[in-house]
């Protein structure tokens, strides 16, 4: 059995069972991928994939178990490679970050220059996505970490670090009727078409819990987007009022809009950092996390991520 064979099988699975796409991603030929997977199946004595003619159409129950173990082996193999690099050069490499639009646009720009000054030889790669897409990127090992709000935990292969709290605010045109009310309730807000994030009304979210406590069974959802700039632009067009993270409002750039405090209507929401449970923590990754939140020191991160080992010598 070769790691290359495991890598081929896992890539086919990730590419929705499309051998041609897997071959392109692996920079090899389609027949080569098919041959190596066949050799792996012959050695294991089980079929990983179900075939119809030359096409792979499904994964067998045994195949699912093999692929899960293969993904773990490939991650561990990469960690072994990284260990060697970690002990020879702790100040260079690559750091791949996934972030929601809010973090990529409003939060990370304040932190990146400091990190780049301390680690000029570390190449930063930034990817954007929805909370569920962020979780998938971490789960697949496509990124080192993800940061955002409401990242789903999934099957338990992710670990999370707290990264501060945030509150909703309401963005409306200047002179809007709601600006004349001294204290807003959620019921007041829900009388208007609402522009907000894709994840706002997800089950279990702060907004969905607040909604459950009101007499309003439905919301006039005029538009949903992960991009606060889009939400504010549609407020300017008169299409509704925007429920968004208050830090997305800029007093100079958004002077034609008014930000109303409705934090009392919702419980605080939480930012999270997501990492794979098998990730090798390199020094510059610890330092980057410390920039995301001052409480996340090297020692604190180790306490949160890694449970103390329990010695057990029984057999």
Chain segment 236-260, per-residue pLDDT in tens: 999 999 999 999 999 999 999 999 9
Q: Residue 215's pLDDT is what?
A: 67
| Low-confidence stretches of the chain (pLDDT beneath 70) | 82, 84-90, 155, 215-217, 307-315
Residues 6+ apart with CB under 8 A from 187: 214, 215, 216
Cβ atoms of residues 257 and 236 within 8 Å: yes
Q: Residue 141's pLDDT is what?
A: 87
Q: Residue 309's pLDDT is what?
A: 41
| All domains of the chain in start order, with CATH | 3-85 (1.10.10.10), 89-165+270-306 (3.40.190.10), 168-267 (3.40.190.10)
Cβ atoms of residues 196 and 221 within 8 Å: yes
Cβ atoms of residues 160 and 289 within 8 Å: no
Strand bridging mode 121-128 / 241-245: unpaired
Q: What predicted TM-score, i.e. pTM, was given to this entire model?
A: 0.67
Burial 5-29 (b: 16+ CB within 10 A, else e): bbbbbbbbbbbebbbeebbeebeee
Chain segment 190-238, per-residue pLDDT in tens: 889 999 988 887 777 778 888 877 766 577 788 899 899 999 999 999 9
SS3 (DSSP) at 310 = coil
| Distance between CA atoms of residues 124 and 119, nearest Å | 10
Q: Residue 75's pLDDT is what?
A: 85
């Amino acid at each position: 059995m070769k790691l290359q064979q495991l890598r081929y099988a896992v890539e086919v699975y990730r590419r929705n069972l499309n051998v041609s796409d897997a071959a392109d991603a692996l920079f090899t030929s389609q027949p080569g991928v098919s041959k190596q997977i066949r050799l792996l199946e012959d050695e294991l004595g089980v079929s990983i994939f179900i075939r119809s003619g030359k096409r792979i159409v499904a994964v067998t129950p045994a195949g699912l178990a093999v692929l899960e173990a293969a993904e773990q082996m490939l991650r561990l193999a990469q960690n072994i490679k990284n260990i060697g690099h970690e002990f020879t050069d702790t100040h260079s490499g690559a750091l791949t970050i996934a972030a929601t639009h809010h973090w990529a646009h409003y939060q990370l720009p304040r932190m990146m220059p400091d990190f780049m000054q301390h680690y000029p030889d570390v190449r930063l790669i930034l990817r954007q996505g929805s909370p569920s897409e962020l979780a998938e990127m971490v789960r697949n090992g496509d990124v080192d970490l993800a940061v955002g709000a409401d990242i789903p935990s999934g099957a338990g292969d992710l670990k999370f670090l707290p990264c501060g709290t945030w509150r909703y605010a309401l963005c409306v045109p200047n002179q809007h009727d709601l600006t004349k009310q001294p204290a807003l309730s959620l019921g007041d807000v829900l009388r208007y078409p609402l522009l907000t994030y894709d994840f706002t009304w997800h089950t279990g979210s702060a907004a969905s819990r607040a909604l459950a406590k009101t007499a309003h069974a439905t919301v006039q959802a005029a538009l949903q987007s992960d991009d606060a700039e889009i939400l504010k632009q549609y407020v300017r067009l008169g299409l509704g009022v925007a429920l968004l993270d208050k830090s997305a409002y800029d007093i100079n750039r958004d002077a034609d809009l008014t930000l109303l405090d409705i934090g009392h209507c919702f419980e605080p929401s939480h930012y999270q950092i997501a990492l794979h449970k098998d990730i090798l923590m390199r020094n510059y990754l610890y330092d980057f996390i410390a920039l995301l939140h001052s409480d996340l020191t090297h020692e604190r991160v180790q306490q949160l991520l890694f449970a103390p080992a329990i010695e057990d010598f029984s057999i």
